[in-house]
Every structure is written in structure tokens, then in C-alpha cells.
Amino acid sequence: MNNQAPLRDEMNAAADDRPVKLRCKDVWKVFGTGAEKFLASREGVATSESLAEAKLVGAVRHASLEVKRGEIFIVMGLSGSGKSTLVRCLSRLIEPTWGSVELDGMDLLKAKPDELIEIRRHRMGMVFQHFALLPHLTVLENIAFPLSVQGVDRKSREERARKVIELVGLSGREQFYPRELSGGQQQRVGIARSLAVEPEIWFLDEPFSALDPLIRREMQTELVRLQSVLKKTIVFITHDFDEAIRLADRIAIMKDGEIIQTGTPEELVLHPATDYVAEFTRDVQRSKVMSAARLMRPVTPSADYGGTVQATDKVSTFSARIVGCRKSFLVTAADGRPLGEVTPDAVIDLLADRDAVREVRV
């Protein structure tokens, strides 16, 4: 982030404009007796050594992040990295030991139990790794369940449920019970159920981890499709870096309870903050995360272009075309303004994973 090109700032300006939906600042979750006192006495500053000395276990340590409205924000970490604990702190399923969590500027941690119930009923939705469907209810009843808890009458809640069932493509299965569905279908129910209340913020806790690789892929595509319609603010937990790359606007990588880097997939791949992050990004196909803007150089006057791409397009989306026609492509901004050009050689270098990737600035 420190060595970002000015161009990127300009490009991301549109995204950065979006107001912050969920902000968590310096959140700690420490297990052990006297954890709260310990952190309070140090005003929320502690090292792993001092924690160990006090016989405390830090599951989440000074985690800070900002999720913008309409963004898919992914928290990536291996098992035991604290990602699930962090998302449970954000939704206050677990009470953070220290720090603040703000939803639209309102401090969630100060919400009283009945306020919290209201917030959860109307503004939050959550999808679980193992689906967490109620075994005694049909698909329809499961999806209508959040509304029935709110006291919505049967007719309107079932109407609403049928709408989301259609949205996730489960029409015709309304009267089935969860155990009669496949894993993928069950998670569709889980997704539909969390969407029934039209939440503003949507927590997805490893939603596809329990599914087969093929189904997982299908569901990822499905999520992208849904998000293009719904434009929710999404906090998505995963341990699968490829999944993160595929879906994320931005990714936060966690290790041992700490967020070690936050950034777009491209930033993580190009500028891993630590060796740990680099370990993940090493095998990522760069053409899938890098955009045309990364490869472009200034426009050559009166050149003959083989085609036009947008600055935000990933290289993999046009690499076959540009290599095939052996001509440079014109790179434009979203409004059609020309920004630069990409040469076939640059693309080939990237595909061949040569280090000669140049960062040409406008």
C-alpha cells in the first residue's frame, strides 16, 4: 500500500468513496481469567509474550478493518487463525474483550440485548459452514423462520420466502426437509434464509468449505451472480486463498489472531507484506488477479490497436485475444477515456511468469 502507484489510487477512488458500513477497531478476544482487566490495564496494547506471561490466549489480537458498503470483504486464514472468532466478534456472537465494532457509525458493543436483537433481526444475515438448518422444518419453513421469529404473519412471510427460494433457484423444493437435499442445495437454503430479512450486512462463515470442489465452484459463481443483483455488504470467511481471489474486492489475511495484511487480491499478489502472505500468493496465476492497468504503458500515437479493454479488466479475460492477434490493445477508463496501451509481449511475460513485469506509469 505504501508503494502504490498514483494510478491505482485514481482507479480505486471510485471504490474508496463508498461509505464505511462496518468498522472494527483494535478488537481483541482474549481467553483466560482476568483477560478483560489485563487488557484494560494496558489500554488494549499487548504482545504475545506478555499474554503468555499472564497465561492468556489471544484468539483475536488488535484486529482493525473497515468494510465499505457493497463490498465483498474476505477474511482469509488457516484453521486456528482466529478468523471465525473475529467474525463472531463482529456480529457479537462472541463478546470481544476489547475494542470497538461500529455498524454505520453506531457502536455495536454498547447495544443493549433488545437493541441487539432488533439489529440482528433486520440488518444482519449469516450463512454457516455446516448450513445450520433446522432439521424439523421444511425448506419453506426454514427460510421463513427468521421472519416468524419477528412475528411476521404466515402469509406474508411465506410469500417473501418463496421469492428468495426463486432467487437461489430452489423452486419446487419448498416442502422438502433439509436431510432430503444435497449439500449444495442445503447451503442454498442457508443463503436464502439469511437473505429473507433483506440484511444490510451479510456474514458468510466459510459457506462453501463443506462442499465438494465442483459444487463449491458452482456456488461461488452463484454468489457472484447474487451479489451483482443484491449489492450487499459482505464479510466472507474462508481458508481457501483461491476462493478469496475469485470473490474478493478486498482480502484481510489472518495469522495467529492477527490481521497481517489487508488489500485487493492484486496488491497481495504484487506486494505481499510478509513471507507468510507470499507463501499463499506464490502459486496464484497473476493474469487472474492483475488488471490491464498494471501492464499498460503510455499510448503510442497513431497506433493500430487490436482491441479495447477497461483498466480494471483482469489480464486473463483478454490474454488469449491479445496474444492471438499480436497487436496492442487500448486501455480505457470506465467512461471510455483512453489511459494507455497493453502490448502482447507484456501479457506473454506475465503469463510466462517472467519477472520482467514492468510497472509503467502514466
Residues lying near other proteins in the complex (CB under 8 A) are found at 88, 91, 93, 116-122, 124-126, 128-132, 134-138, 145-146, 148-150, 174-177, 179-180, 197, 203
The two beta strands, 20-31 and 57-68, are antiparallel
Q: How far is the CB of 261 from other proteins (least distance, A)?
A: 28
Residue 259, C-beta contacts closer than 8 angstroms, at least 6 positions apart:
63, 64, 65, 75, 252, 253
Q: Which is nearer to other proteins, 137 or 230 (CB)?
A: 137
Q: How far is the CB of 67 from other proteins (least distance, A)?
A: 17
Closest among 125, 126, 272, 128 to 200, alpha carbons compared: 125
Q: How far is the CB of 292 from other proteins (least distance, A)?
A: 40
Residue 14: burial class (beta carbons within 10 Å; 0-12, 13-18, 19+): exposed
User: How many Cα atoms sit within 13 Å of 311 on the Cβ side?
Assistant: 22
Which residues lie across from 340 on neighbouring strands? 331
- 8 Å CB contact between 203 and 91: yes
Q: Which is nearer to other proteins, 159 or 279 (CB)?
A: 159
The two beta strands, 250-255 and 258-263, are antiparallel
Q: Which is nearer to other proteins, 40 or 117 (CB)?
A: 117
Residue 185 CB neighbour total at 10 angstroms: 19
Q: Which is nearer to other proteins, 52 or 134 (CB)?
A: 134
Q: Which is nearer to other proteins, 206 or 267 (CB)?
A: 206
Q: How far is the CB of 149 from other proteins (least distance, A)?
A: 5
Cα gap 229→191, rounded to integer Å? 14
Q: Which is nearer to other proteins, 122 or 288 (CB)?
A: 122
Q: How far is the CB of 150 from other proteins (least distance, A)?
A: 7
Please give the single-letter amino acid code of residue 180. E
Q: How far is the CB of 94 from other proteins (least distance, A)?
A: 9
* C-alpha torsion sign, points 140, 142, 146, 152: positive
Q: Which is nearer to other proteins, 199 or 272 (CB)?
A: 199
Q: Which is nearer to other proteins, 36 or 115 (CB)?
A: 115
Q: Give CA separation, 282 vs 210, 285, 286, in Å.
A: 25, 8, 9
Q: How far is the CB of 23 from other proteins (least distance, A)?
A: 20
Q: How far is the CB of 124 from other proteins (least distance, A)?
A: 6
Q: Which is nearer to other proteins, 15 or 93 (CB)?
A: 93
Q: How far is the CB of 79 from other proteins (least distance, A)?
A: 15
- 8 Å CB contact between 31 and 56: yes
Q: In what order do the strands lie in the sheet with 258-263?
A: 124-127, 201-205, 233-238, 72-76, 250-255, 258-263
